[in-house]
Structure 1
Amino acid sequence: MYFPIAGIEVSPWVPPLVAMAVSFVTSMGGVSGAFLLLPFQMSFLGYAAPSVSATNHLFNIVAIPSGVLRYLREGRMVWPLTWIVIAGTLPGVLIGAVIRVTWLPDADSFKLFAGAVLLYIGIKMVRDLTGRANGSAKAESERRFQELVRGHRGKTASGEPLPAVRTIAFNLRRTCYEFYGERHDVSTPGIFVLSFIVGIVGGTYGIGGGSIVAPFFVTVFGLPVYTVAGAALMGTFVTSVAGVAFYQFLARFHPEVAVGPDWMLGVLFGLGGMVGMYLGARCQKYVPAHIIKWMLAVIVLGTALKYGYGALFQQ
Protein backbone atom coordinates (compact mmCIF):
# COMPACT_ATOMS: atom_id res chain seq x y z
CA MET A 1 0.00 0.00 0.00
CA TYR A 2 1.36 3.41 -0.98
CA PHE A 3 1.08 6.41 1.36
CA PRO A 4 1.49 9.51 -0.83
CA ILE A 5 2.17 12.09 1.89
CA ALA A 6 4.77 9.93 3.61
CA GLY A 7 6.13 8.84 0.24
CA ILE A 8 6.51 5.24 1.37
CA GLU A 9 5.07 1.88 0.43
CA VAL A 10 4.32 -0.65 3.16
CA SER A 11 1.79 -3.40 3.79
CA PRO A 12 -1.31 -1.99 5.56
CA TRP A 13 -1.01 -4.52 8.41
CA VAL A 14 2.50 -3.40 9.40
CA PRO A 15 1.68 0.02 11.01
CA PRO A 16 -1.12 -1.21 13.32
CA LEU A 17 0.80 -4.37 14.24
CA VAL A 18 3.95 -2.41 15.18
CA ALA A 19 1.94 0.22 17.06
CA MET A 20 0.07 -2.48 18.97
CA ALA A 21 3.32 -4.19 20.00
CA VAL A 22 5.00 -0.91 21.00
CA SER A 23 1.98 0.38 22.93
CA PHE A 24 1.51 -2.97 24.65
CA VAL A 25 5.03 -2.81 26.09
CA THR A 26 5.24 0.92 26.80
CA SER A 27 1.80 1.19 28.40
CA MET A 28 2.79 -1.41 30.98
CA GLY A 29 5.77 0.78 31.87
CA GLY A 30 3.66 3.92 32.03
CA VAL A 31 5.34 5.47 28.97
CA SER A 32 3.77 6.76 25.77
CA GLY A 33 4.50 4.65 22.70
CA ALA A 34 4.75 7.70 20.43
CA PHE A 35 8.42 8.33 21.20
CA LEU A 36 9.34 4.85 19.88
CA LEU A 37 7.03 4.93 16.86
CA LEU A 38 8.79 7.93 15.39
CA PRO A 39 12.21 6.18 15.24
CA PHE A 40 10.48 3.20 13.60
CA GLN A 41 8.97 5.45 10.94
CA MET A 42 12.29 7.17 10.22
CA SER A 43 14.66 4.19 10.40
CA PHE A 44 12.55 1.31 9.05
CA LEU A 45 9.99 3.03 6.84
CA GLY A 46 12.28 5.81 5.61
CA TYR A 47 9.74 8.47 6.58
CA ALA A 48 11.74 11.48 7.85
CA ALA A 49 9.94 14.51 6.40
CA PRO A 50 8.50 17.09 8.85
CA SER A 51 5.09 15.50 8.39
CA VAL A 52 6.28 12.46 10.37
CA SER A 53 5.94 14.54 13.54
CA ALA A 54 2.37 15.46 12.59
CA THR A 55 1.61 11.82 11.84
CA ASN A 56 2.94 10.87 15.25
CA HIS A 57 0.60 13.42 16.84
CA LEU A 58 -2.25 11.80 14.91
CA PHE A 59 -1.33 8.45 16.46
CA ASN A 60 -1.82 10.02 19.91
CA ILE A 61 -5.23 11.39 18.96
CA VAL A 62 -6.53 7.97 17.93
CA ALA A 63 -4.82 5.86 20.60
CA ILE A 64 -5.13 7.97 23.78
CA PRO A 65 -8.92 8.42 24.29
CA SER A 66 -9.38 4.89 25.66
CA GLY A 67 -6.87 5.63 28.41
CA VAL A 68 -8.36 9.04 29.17
CA LEU A 69 -11.84 7.57 29.47
CA ARG A 70 -10.51 5.01 31.91
CA TYR A 71 -9.15 7.72 34.21
CA LEU A 72 -12.40 9.68 33.94
CA ARG A 73 -14.56 6.67 34.79
CA GLU A 74 -12.44 5.90 37.84
CA GLY A 75 -12.48 9.55 38.95
CA ARG A 76 -8.65 9.71 38.99
CA MET A 77 -8.21 12.76 36.77
CA VAL A 78 -6.51 15.56 38.74
CA TRP A 79 -8.15 18.46 36.89
CA PRO A 80 -6.14 21.38 38.38
CA LEU A 81 -2.91 19.69 37.28
CA THR A 82 -4.48 18.82 33.94
CA TRP A 83 -5.47 22.43 33.17
CA ILE A 84 -1.96 23.71 33.96
CA VAL A 85 -0.37 21.04 31.77
CA ILE A 86 -2.68 21.92 28.88
CA ALA A 87 -2.16 25.68 29.32
CA GLY A 88 1.62 25.25 29.33
CA THR A 89 2.10 22.60 26.66
CA LEU A 90 -0.41 24.01 24.16
CA PRO A 91 1.60 27.14 23.16
CA GLY A 92 4.80 25.14 23.50
CA VAL A 93 3.71 22.51 20.98
CA LEU A 94 2.86 25.23 18.43
CA ILE A 95 6.33 26.72 18.82
CA GLY A 96 7.78 23.23 18.48
CA ALA A 97 5.96 22.75 15.17
CA VAL A 98 7.49 25.96 13.80
CA ILE A 99 10.94 24.84 14.95
CA ARG A 100 10.50 21.47 13.23
CA VAL A 101 9.42 22.95 9.90
CA THR A 102 11.75 25.96 9.88
CA TRP A 103 15.02 24.80 11.47
CA LEU A 104 14.88 20.99 11.41
CA PRO A 105 13.37 20.10 8.02
CA ASP A 106 16.18 17.79 6.87
CA ALA A 107 16.50 14.25 8.16
CA ASP A 108 20.03 14.52 9.63
CA SER A 109 19.29 17.60 11.75
CA PHE A 110 16.07 16.13 13.06
CA LYS A 111 17.68 12.77 13.83
CA LEU A 112 20.29 14.57 15.93
CA PHE A 113 17.50 16.35 17.83
CA ALA A 114 15.48 13.13 18.17
CA GLY A 115 18.59 11.33 19.42
CA ALA A 116 19.11 13.96 22.12
CA VAL A 117 15.48 13.62 23.28
CA LEU A 118 15.68 9.84 23.37
CA LEU A 119 19.04 9.98 25.17
CA TYR A 120 17.48 12.09 27.91
CA ILE A 121 14.51 9.75 28.29
CA GLY A 122 16.78 6.69 28.34
CA ILE A 123 19.13 8.15 30.97
CA LYS A 124 16.09 9.12 33.03
CA MET A 125 14.84 5.54 32.90
CA VAL A 126 18.21 4.09 33.91
CA ARG A 127 18.59 6.52 36.81
CA ASP A 128 15.09 5.64 37.97
CA LEU A 129 15.88 1.93 37.82
CA THR A 130 19.28 2.13 39.53
CA GLY A 131 18.80 5.05 41.93
CA ARG A 132 17.76 5.10 45.53
CA ALA A 133 14.22 6.04 44.55
CA ASN A 134 13.82 2.42 43.47
CA GLY A 135 13.94 1.22 47.08
CA SER A 136 11.36 0.59 49.77
CA ALA A 137 9.63 3.97 49.42
CA LYS A 138 8.92 3.36 45.76
CA ALA A 139 7.79 -0.21 46.42
CA GLU A 140 5.41 1.10 49.06
CA SER A 141 4.06 3.67 46.61
CA GLU A 142 3.43 1.00 43.99
CA ARG A 143 1.75 -1.24 46.55
CA ARG A 144 -0.51 1.61 47.63
CA PHE A 145 -1.37 2.35 44.02
CA GLN A 146 -2.42 -1.24 43.44
CA GLU A 147 -4.67 -1.05 46.48
CA LEU A 148 -6.26 2.15 45.20
CA VAL A 149 -6.95 0.61 41.82
CA ARG A 150 -8.57 -2.37 43.49
CA GLY A 151 -10.93 -0.11 45.39
CA HIS A 152 -9.32 0.18 48.84
CA ARG A 153 -9.80 3.93 48.95
CA GLY A 154 -10.06 4.46 52.68
CA LYS A 155 -12.80 6.27 54.56
CA THR A 156 -13.48 9.68 56.00
CA ALA A 157 -13.99 10.34 59.72
CA SER A 158 -17.72 9.78 59.22
CA GLY A 159 -17.12 6.43 57.57
CA GLU A 160 -17.85 7.52 53.98
CA PRO A 161 -15.52 6.47 51.11
CA LEU A 162 -12.86 9.03 50.27
CA PRO A 163 -13.24 10.71 46.86
CA ALA A 164 -10.45 9.88 44.43
CA VAL A 165 -9.45 13.53 43.93
CA ARG A 166 -10.33 16.62 45.97
CA THR A 167 -9.11 20.10 45.05
CA ILE A 168 -8.02 22.17 48.04
CA ALA A 169 -6.47 25.21 46.36
CA PHE A 170 -6.01 26.16 42.71
CA ASN A 171 -4.73 29.69 41.98
CA LEU A 172 -1.86 31.53 40.30
CA ARG A 173 0.52 30.78 43.18
CA ARG A 174 -0.07 27.16 44.11
CA THR A 175 -2.03 24.04 43.32
CA CYS A 176 -3.04 21.82 46.22
CA TYR A 177 -5.12 18.66 46.00
CA GLU A 178 -5.78 15.38 47.76
CA PHE A 179 -5.45 12.05 45.96
CA TYR A 180 -7.19 9.31 47.93
CA GLY A 181 -6.58 11.26 51.12
CA GLU A 182 -2.91 12.16 50.44
CA ARG A 183 -2.25 15.89 50.12
CA HIS A 184 0.05 17.28 47.41
CA ASP A 185 1.03 20.96 47.13
CA VAL A 186 3.01 22.35 44.16
CA SER A 187 3.88 25.70 42.59
CA THR A 188 1.47 26.64 39.81
CA PRO A 189 4.06 28.80 37.93
CA GLY A 190 6.62 26.00 38.25
CA ILE A 191 4.28 23.43 36.73
CA PHE A 192 3.33 25.88 33.96
CA VAL A 193 6.93 26.73 32.98
CA LEU A 194 7.95 23.08 32.95
CA SER A 195 4.92 22.18 30.82
CA PHE A 196 5.72 25.00 28.38
CA ILE A 197 9.31 23.78 27.86
CA VAL A 198 8.16 20.19 27.51
CA GLY A 199 5.52 21.31 25.00
CA ILE A 200 8.20 22.82 22.76
CA VAL A 201 10.24 19.62 22.79
CA GLY A 202 7.18 17.42 22.36
CA GLY A 203 5.78 19.58 19.56
CA THR A 204 9.07 19.36 17.67
CA TYR A 205 9.48 15.65 18.18
CA GLY A 206 5.82 14.79 17.72
CA ILE A 207 5.11 13.05 21.04
CA GLY A 208 2.91 15.65 22.74
CA GLY A 209 5.18 15.86 25.80
CA GLY A 210 3.61 13.16 27.96
CA SER A 211 6.71 10.97 27.94
CA ILE A 212 8.84 13.83 29.28
CA VAL A 213 6.59 15.76 31.64
CA ALA A 214 5.73 12.88 33.96
CA PRO A 215 9.34 12.11 35.04
CA PHE A 216 9.88 15.82 35.75
CA PHE A 217 6.76 16.02 37.88
CA VAL A 218 7.95 13.02 39.86
CA THR A 219 11.59 14.07 40.34
CA VAL A 220 11.36 17.88 40.52
CA PHE A 221 8.03 18.33 42.31
CA GLY A 222 7.92 15.02 44.18
CA LEU A 223 4.47 14.06 42.88
CA PRO A 224 3.59 10.34 42.87
CA VAL A 225 3.41 9.04 39.32
CA TYR A 226 -0.14 7.75 39.72
CA THR A 227 -1.39 11.29 40.39
CA VAL A 228 0.17 12.79 37.26
CA ALA A 229 -0.51 10.00 34.76
CA GLY A 230 -4.02 11.16 33.88
CA ALA A 231 -2.98 14.81 33.55
CA ALA A 232 -0.03 13.91 31.34
CA LEU A 233 -2.23 11.71 29.14
CA MET A 234 -4.92 14.35 28.76
CA GLY A 235 -2.31 17.03 28.08
CA THR A 236 -0.72 14.86 25.41
CA PHE A 237 -4.09 14.31 23.74
CA VAL A 238 -5.06 18.01 23.66
CA THR A 239 -1.65 19.18 22.46
CA SER A 240 -1.60 16.45 19.81
CA VAL A 241 -4.91 17.73 18.45
CA ALA A 242 -3.45 21.23 18.32
CA GLY A 243 -0.23 19.89 16.82
CA VAL A 244 -1.99 18.13 13.96
CA ALA A 245 -4.09 21.22 13.22
CA PHE A 246 -1.07 23.53 13.30
CA TYR A 247 1.09 21.28 11.13
CA GLN A 248 -1.77 21.15 8.63
CA PHE A 249 -1.94 24.95 8.72
CA LEU A 250 1.82 25.29 8.20
CA ALA A 251 1.62 22.97 5.18
CA ARG A 252 0.01 25.81 3.21
CA PHE A 253 3.17 27.90 3.54
CA HIS A 254 5.66 25.11 2.77
CA PRO A 255 4.47 23.42 -0.44
CA GLU A 256 8.01 22.27 -1.21
CA VAL A 257 8.05 19.74 1.65
CA ALA A 258 5.55 17.36 3.28
CA VAL A 259 4.37 19.05 6.50
CA GLY A 260 0.79 17.91 7.13
CA PRO A 261 0.12 14.44 8.59
CA ASP A 262 -0.31 11.32 6.54
CA TRP A 263 -3.86 10.68 7.69
CA MET A 264 -4.19 7.06 6.64
CA LEU A 265 -0.84 6.07 8.11
CA GLY A 266 -1.53 7.94 11.37
CA VAL A 267 -4.94 6.30 11.77
CA LEU A 268 -3.50 2.84 11.15
CA PHE A 269 -0.85 3.45 13.81
CA GLY A 270 -3.49 4.83 16.16
CA LEU A 271 -5.83 1.86 15.80
CA GLY A 272 -3.02 -0.53 16.65
CA GLY A 273 -1.98 1.68 19.56
CA MET A 274 -5.53 1.68 20.93
CA VAL A 275 -5.55 -2.11 21.07
CA GLY A 276 -2.02 -2.26 22.47
CA MET A 277 -2.78 0.19 25.29
CA TYR A 278 -5.86 -1.76 26.30
CA LEU A 279 -4.01 -5.10 26.33
CA GLY A 280 -1.04 -3.59 28.14
CA ALA A 281 -3.26 -2.21 30.87
CA ARG A 282 -4.89 -5.61 31.31
CA CYS A 283 -1.58 -7.53 31.47
CA GLN A 284 0.43 -5.03 33.52
CA LYS A 285 0.01 -6.81 36.86
CA TYR A 286 1.42 -10.06 35.46
CA VAL A 287 4.75 -8.58 34.24
CA PRO A 288 7.38 -7.18 36.65
CA ALA A 289 7.66 -3.44 36.05
CA HIS A 290 11.46 -3.37 36.20
CA ILE A 291 11.71 -5.87 33.32
CA ILE A 292 9.52 -3.69 31.10
CA LYS A 293 11.44 -0.52 32.03
CA TRP A 294 14.84 -2.08 31.44
CA MET A 295 13.72 -3.28 28.03
CA LEU A 296 12.46 0.20 27.19
CA ALA A 297 15.68 1.80 28.43
CA VAL A 298 17.82 -0.44 26.23
CA ILE A 299 15.69 0.27 23.16
CA VAL A 300 15.64 4.01 23.77
CA LEU A 301 19.38 4.36 24.46
CA GLY A 302 20.27 2.17 21.49
CA THR A 303 18.12 4.28 19.17
CA ALA A 304 19.53 7.52 20.59
CA LEU A 305 23.13 6.41 20.05
CA LYS A 306 22.32 5.22 16.53
CA TYR A 307 20.77 8.57 15.62
CA GLY A 308 23.57 10.58 17.19
CA TYR A 309 26.29 8.55 15.47
CA GLY A 310 24.54 8.69 12.09
CA ALA A 311 23.93 12.44 12.26
CA LEU A 312 27.45 13.34 13.42
CA PHE A 313 29.71 10.88 11.61
CA GLN A 314 27.87 9.63 8.54
CA GLN A 315 26.94 12.86 6.79
Structure 2
Amino acid sequence: MDASQLILIVSFFCIALVYASVGFGGGSSYLAMLAQPMFMLTQGIIRPAALLCNIIVVTSGTIIFYREGKIAWKEVWPFLVVSVPMAYMGGFWKLKDDTFFVLLGFTLLVAAIVLWIQPEKINTLGKNYNTTGINIALGGSIGFLSGLVSIGGGIFLSPVLHFLRWADARKISALASLFILVNSISGLAGQFQAGLPEIQWTFILPLLAAVFLGGQIGSRLGARKFNPLYIKRITAVLILVAAVNILKDHL
Protein backbone atom coordinates (compact mmCIF):
# COMPACT_ATOMS: atom_id res chain seq x y z
CA MET A 1 0.00 0.00 0.00
CA ASP A 2 1.56 3.28 -1.11
CA ALA A 3 1.20 6.73 0.47
CA SER A 4 -1.42 8.00 -1.99
CA GLN A 5 -3.72 5.05 -1.32
CA LEU A 6 -3.30 5.51 2.43
CA ILE A 7 -4.28 9.19 2.08
CA LEU A 8 -7.42 8.18 0.20
CA ILE A 9 -8.36 5.50 2.75
CA VAL A 10 -8.04 7.89 5.70
CA SER A 11 -9.86 10.65 3.82
CA PHE A 12 -12.72 8.38 2.80
CA PHE A 13 -13.13 7.11 6.36
CA CYS A 14 -13.30 10.67 7.74
CA ILE A 15 -15.69 11.85 5.02
CA ALA A 16 -18.03 8.90 5.59
CA LEU A 17 -17.93 9.35 9.37
CA VAL A 18 -18.84 13.04 9.27
CA TYR A 19 -21.38 12.79 6.47
CA ALA A 20 -23.19 9.79 7.95
CA SER A 21 -23.50 11.59 11.29
CA VAL A 22 -25.63 14.27 9.63
CA GLY A 23 -27.46 12.01 7.19
CA PHE A 24 -25.42 12.73 4.07
CA GLY A 25 -23.80 10.35 1.58
CA GLY A 26 -20.62 12.21 0.63
CA GLY A 27 -20.42 10.96 -2.94
CA SER A 28 -19.29 14.30 -4.38
CA SER A 29 -16.41 14.45 -1.90
CA TYR A 30 -15.23 10.93 -2.76
CA LEU A 31 -15.32 11.83 -6.43
CA ALA A 32 -13.49 15.11 -5.83
CA MET A 33 -10.73 13.27 -3.97
CA LEU A 34 -10.32 10.54 -6.58
CA ALA A 35 -10.10 13.06 -9.42
CA GLN A 36 -7.25 15.07 -7.94
CA PRO A 37 -4.29 15.19 -10.36
CA MET A 38 -1.86 14.07 -7.64
CA PHE A 39 -3.40 10.58 -7.64
CA MET A 40 -3.12 10.21 -11.45
CA LEU A 41 -6.22 8.00 -11.73
CA THR A 42 -8.08 7.46 -14.99
CA GLN A 43 -11.85 7.84 -15.38
CA GLY A 44 -12.03 4.05 -15.80
CA ILE A 45 -10.94 3.75 -12.18
CA ILE A 46 -12.62 6.87 -10.77
CA ARG A 47 -16.14 6.38 -12.12
CA PRO A 48 -16.82 2.84 -10.81
CA ALA A 49 -15.02 3.51 -7.51
CA ALA A 50 -17.18 6.57 -6.82
CA LEU A 51 -20.40 4.72 -7.64
CA LEU A 52 -19.44 1.72 -5.50
CA CYS A 53 -18.74 4.08 -2.57
CA ASN A 54 -22.12 5.73 -3.12
CA ILE A 55 -23.84 2.36 -3.00
CA ILE A 56 -22.08 1.36 0.23
CA VAL A 57 -22.88 4.66 1.95
CA VAL A 58 -26.56 5.07 1.05
CA THR A 59 -27.78 1.45 1.19
CA SER A 60 -28.21 1.31 4.96
CA GLY A 61 -29.74 4.79 5.06
CA THR A 62 -32.25 3.87 2.38
CA ILE A 63 -33.27 0.75 4.31
CA ILE A 64 -33.75 2.79 7.48
CA PHE A 65 -35.84 5.42 5.69
CA TYR A 66 -37.99 2.70 4.13
CA ARG A 67 -38.61 1.04 7.48
CA GLU A 68 -39.57 4.42 8.93
CA GLY A 69 -42.18 4.81 6.21
CA LYS A 70 -40.46 7.84 4.65
CA ILE A 71 -40.39 6.29 1.17
CA ALA A 72 -43.81 6.12 -0.46
CA TRP A 73 -43.60 4.60 -3.95
CA LYS A 74 -46.56 6.59 -5.25
CA GLU A 75 -44.60 9.75 -4.45
CA VAL A 76 -41.09 8.78 -5.55
CA TRP A 77 -41.70 6.77 -8.75
CA PRO A 78 -41.73 9.84 -11.05
CA PHE A 79 -38.19 10.69 -10.01
CA LEU A 80 -36.98 7.16 -10.73
CA VAL A 81 -38.88 5.95 -13.80
CA VAL A 82 -36.71 7.94 -16.24
CA SER A 83 -33.65 8.59 -14.08
CA VAL A 84 -32.68 4.91 -13.89
CA PRO A 85 -32.43 4.34 -17.68
CA MET A 86 -30.86 7.78 -18.12
CA ALA A 87 -28.21 6.96 -15.48
CA TYR A 88 -27.54 3.74 -17.41
CA MET A 89 -27.07 5.75 -20.60
CA GLY A 90 -24.75 8.18 -18.82
CA GLY A 91 -22.69 5.31 -17.45
CA PHE A 92 -22.57 3.67 -20.88
CA TRP A 93 -21.34 6.86 -22.56
CA LYS A 94 -17.58 6.76 -23.04
CA LEU A 95 -15.85 10.12 -22.68
CA LYS A 96 -12.32 11.17 -23.47
CA ASP A 97 -10.33 11.61 -20.29
CA ASP A 98 -9.92 15.38 -20.67
CA THR A 99 -13.63 15.76 -21.48
CA PHE A 100 -14.56 13.76 -18.40
CA PHE A 101 -12.35 15.76 -16.05
CA VAL A 102 -13.52 19.12 -17.43
CA LEU A 103 -17.16 18.07 -17.12
CA LEU A 104 -16.50 16.77 -13.62
CA GLY A 105 -14.75 20.00 -12.63
CA PHE A 106 -17.67 22.17 -13.72
CA THR A 107 -20.16 19.78 -12.12
CA LEU A 108 -18.30 20.05 -8.81
CA LEU A 109 -18.28 23.86 -9.12
CA VAL A 110 -22.07 23.84 -9.41
CA ALA A 111 -22.32 21.34 -6.55
CA ALA A 112 -20.23 23.61 -4.32
CA ILE A 113 -22.51 26.58 -5.04
CA VAL A 114 -25.63 24.50 -4.44
CA LEU A 115 -24.29 23.23 -1.11
CA TRP A 116 -23.38 26.75 0.03
CA ILE A 117 -26.75 28.34 -0.73
CA GLN A 118 -28.91 25.46 0.54
CA PRO A 119 -30.72 26.65 3.69
CA GLU A 120 -30.41 24.87 7.00
CA LYS A 121 -34.15 24.52 7.52
CA ILE A 122 -36.95 24.18 5.01
CA ASN A 123 -40.34 25.83 5.40
CA THR A 124 -42.96 23.49 3.97
CA LEU A 125 -45.94 25.64 4.94
CA GLY A 126 -48.17 26.44 2.01
CA LYS A 127 -46.48 23.97 -0.30
CA ASN A 128 -48.36 23.37 -3.54
CA TYR A 129 -45.77 21.59 -5.66
CA ASN A 130 -46.75 18.18 -6.98
CA THR A 131 -46.21 18.09 -10.74
CA THR A 132 -45.49 14.61 -12.08
CA GLY A 133 -44.09 15.87 -15.39
CA ILE A 134 -41.57 18.14 -13.66
CA ASN A 135 -40.56 15.32 -11.32
CA ILE A 136 -39.95 12.98 -14.26
CA ALA A 137 -37.90 15.59 -16.16
CA LEU A 138 -35.93 16.53 -13.06
CA GLY A 139 -35.14 12.92 -12.22
CA GLY A 140 -34.18 12.08 -15.79
CA SER A 141 -31.79 15.01 -16.27
CA ILE A 142 -30.06 14.54 -12.92
CA GLY A 143 -29.97 10.78 -13.48
CA PHE A 144 -28.12 11.20 -16.77
CA LEU A 145 -25.57 13.51 -15.14
CA SER A 146 -25.23 10.99 -12.30
CA GLY A 147 -24.29 8.21 -14.67
CA LEU A 148 -22.03 10.43 -16.75
CA VAL A 149 -19.81 11.74 -13.94
CA SER A 150 -20.68 9.20 -11.21
CA ILE A 151 -21.74 11.84 -8.72
CA GLY A 152 -24.88 10.14 -7.40
CA GLY A 153 -27.25 13.03 -8.03
CA GLY A 154 -28.60 13.59 -4.54
CA ILE A 155 -26.50 16.71 -4.13
CA PHE A 156 -28.54 18.33 -6.93
CA LEU A 157 -31.93 16.72 -6.37
CA SER A 158 -32.19 17.51 -2.68
CA PRO A 159 -31.70 21.32 -2.89
CA VAL A 160 -34.14 21.60 -5.80
CA LEU A 161 -36.81 19.73 -3.85
CA HIS A 162 -36.15 21.90 -0.80
CA PHE A 163 -36.57 25.01 -2.95
CA LEU A 164 -39.81 23.65 -4.45
CA ARG A 165 -41.02 22.61 -0.97
CA TRP A 166 -41.78 19.13 -2.23
CA ALA A 167 -41.94 17.64 1.28
CA ASP A 168 -40.34 17.87 4.71
CA ALA A 169 -36.59 17.54 5.08
CA ARG A 170 -36.72 13.92 6.26
CA LYS A 171 -38.72 12.76 3.24
CA ILE A 172 -36.43 14.64 0.88
CA SER A 173 -33.39 12.98 2.47
CA ALA A 174 -35.10 9.60 2.07
CA LEU A 175 -35.79 10.22 -1.62
CA ALA A 176 -32.23 11.48 -2.16
CA SER A 177 -30.80 8.30 -0.61
CA LEU A 178 -32.98 6.08 -2.77
CA PHE A 179 -32.22 8.18 -5.84
CA ILE A 180 -28.46 7.90 -5.28
CA LEU A 181 -28.71 4.15 -4.66
CA VAL A 182 -30.71 3.15 -7.74
CA ASN A 183 -28.93 5.51 -10.11
CA SER A 184 -25.49 4.51 -8.85
CA ILE A 185 -26.38 0.87 -9.52
CA SER A 186 -27.79 1.76 -12.94
CA GLY A 187 -24.80 3.94 -13.87
CA LEU A 188 -22.42 1.19 -12.81
CA ALA A 189 -24.35 -1.32 -14.94
CA GLY A 190 -23.99 1.01 -17.92
CA GLN A 191 -20.25 1.25 -17.36
CA PHE A 192 -19.90 -2.53 -17.28
CA GLN A 193 -21.98 -2.85 -20.43
CA ALA A 194 -19.68 -0.36 -22.17
CA GLY A 195 -16.57 -2.16 -20.91
CA LEU A 196 -15.38 1.02 -19.21
CA PRO A 197 -14.44 0.06 -15.64
CA GLU A 198 -10.86 -0.74 -14.76
CA ILE A 199 -11.71 -2.46 -11.49
CA GLN A 200 -8.58 -2.78 -9.38
CA TRP A 201 -9.88 -4.59 -6.33
CA THR A 202 -6.66 -4.16 -4.35
CA PHE A 203 -7.22 -0.40 -4.73
CA ILE A 204 -11.02 -0.23 -4.37
CA LEU A 205 -11.73 -2.73 -1.56
CA PRO A 206 -9.83 -0.78 1.15
CA LEU A 207 -11.75 2.36 0.14
CA LEU A 208 -15.07 0.54 0.38
CA ALA A 209 -14.09 -0.84 3.79
CA ALA A 210 -13.13 2.67 4.97
CA VAL A 211 -16.44 4.11 3.75
CA PHE A 212 -18.43 1.32 5.38
CA LEU A 213 -16.69 1.64 8.76
CA GLY A 214 -16.79 5.42 8.74
CA GLY A 215 -20.47 5.42 7.82
CA GLN A 216 -21.37 2.95 10.56
CA ILE A 217 -19.53 4.94 13.22
CA GLY A 218 -20.89 8.26 11.97
CA SER A 219 -24.50 7.07 11.95
CA ARG A 220 -24.11 6.07 15.60
CA LEU A 221 -22.64 9.42 16.61
CA GLY A 222 -25.83 11.12 15.50
CA ALA A 223 -26.47 14.59 14.15
CA ARG A 224 -25.96 16.24 17.54
CA LYS A 225 -22.19 15.87 17.18
CA PHE A 226 -22.00 17.96 14.02
CA ASN A 227 -23.95 20.94 12.71
CA PRO A 228 -25.37 20.06 9.26
CA LEU A 229 -25.09 23.65 8.02
CA TYR A 230 -21.41 23.85 8.97
CA ILE A 231 -20.73 20.52 7.28
CA LYS A 232 -22.40 21.74 4.09
CA ARG A 233 -20.43 25.01 4.08
CA ILE A 234 -17.08 23.36 4.81
CA THR A 235 -17.77 20.70 2.18
CA ALA A 236 -18.73 23.38 -0.35
CA VAL A 237 -15.36 25.10 0.11
CA LEU A 238 -13.43 21.82 -0.16
CA ILE A 239 -15.33 20.77 -3.29
CA LEU A 240 -14.75 24.21 -4.81
CA VAL A 241 -11.00 23.92 -4.23
CA ALA A 242 -11.01 20.41 -5.68
CA ALA A 243 -12.95 21.55 -8.75
CA VAL A 244 -10.57 24.43 -9.42
CA ASN A 245 -7.60 22.09 -9.06
CA ILE A 246 -9.14 19.63 -11.56
CA LEU A 247 -9.98 22.33 -14.10
CA LYS A 248 -6.56 23.96 -13.75
CA ASP A 249 -4.95 20.70 -14.76
CA HIS A 250 -7.28 19.86 -17.68
CA LEU A 251 -8.32 23.14 -19.30
Bucket of the pairwise TM-score, normalised by the shorter protein: 0.7 to 0.9
Q: Which amino acid aligns with 2:103?
A: F
Deviation at 1:296, TM superposition (A): 0.7
Confirm or deny that 1:77 pairs with 2:71. yes
Matches within 5 A, 1:1-315: 1=1, 15-43=8-36, 44-99=38-93, 101=94, 104-106=95-97, 108-128=98-118, 133=119, 138=121, 185-251=129-195, 259-281=197-219, 282-312=221-251
Contact 1:93–1:200 (8 Å) recurs in 2: yes
Deviation at 1:24, TM superposition (A): 2.0
Structure 1 alignment gaps of length 5 or more: 2-8, 142-181, 252-257
CA offsets, 1:114-163, max 9 Å, x none? 111111111112222xxxx55xxx3777xxxxxxxxxxxxxxxxxxxxxx
Q: What is aligned with 1:170?
A: none
- Out of 90-99 and 295-304, give the one that drifted further: 90-99
- Change in CA separation of 1:288 and 1:235 when aligned onto 2, cut-off 3 Å: closer
- Change in CA separation of 1:67 and 1:205 when aligned onto 2, cut-off 3 Å: same
Contact 1:24–1:279 (8 Å) recurs in 2: yes
Structure 2 alignment gaps of length 5 or more: none
Higher helix proportion, which one? 2
| Number of equivalent positions | 248
Instruction: Give secondary structure in 2 for the equivalent of 1:64.
Output: helix
Higher strand proportion, which one? 1
CA offsets, 1:30-71, max 9 Å, x none? 443121112222224321233421221112222322112221
2:250 and 2:165 map into 1 onto residues whose CA distance is 35
Q: Decide which structure has the larger Cα Rg and report it.
A: 1
Instruction: Give secondary structure in 2 for the equivalent of 1:50.
Output: helix
- Change in CA separation of 1:210 and 1:12 when aligned onto 2, cut-off 3 Å: same
Contact 2:8–2:33 (8 Å) recurs in 1: no
CA offsets, 1:77-117, max 9 Å, x none? 23233322221221111221233x1xx221x3222111111
- Normalised by the length of structure 2, the TM-score is 0.85
Contact 1:88–1:194 (8 Å) recurs in 2: no
1:246 and 1:259 map into 2 onto residues whose CA distance is 10
1:216 and 1:265 map into 2 onto residues whose CA distance is 35
- Normalised by the length of structure 1, the TM-score is 0.70
1:278 and 1:259 map into 2 onto residues whose CA distance is 27
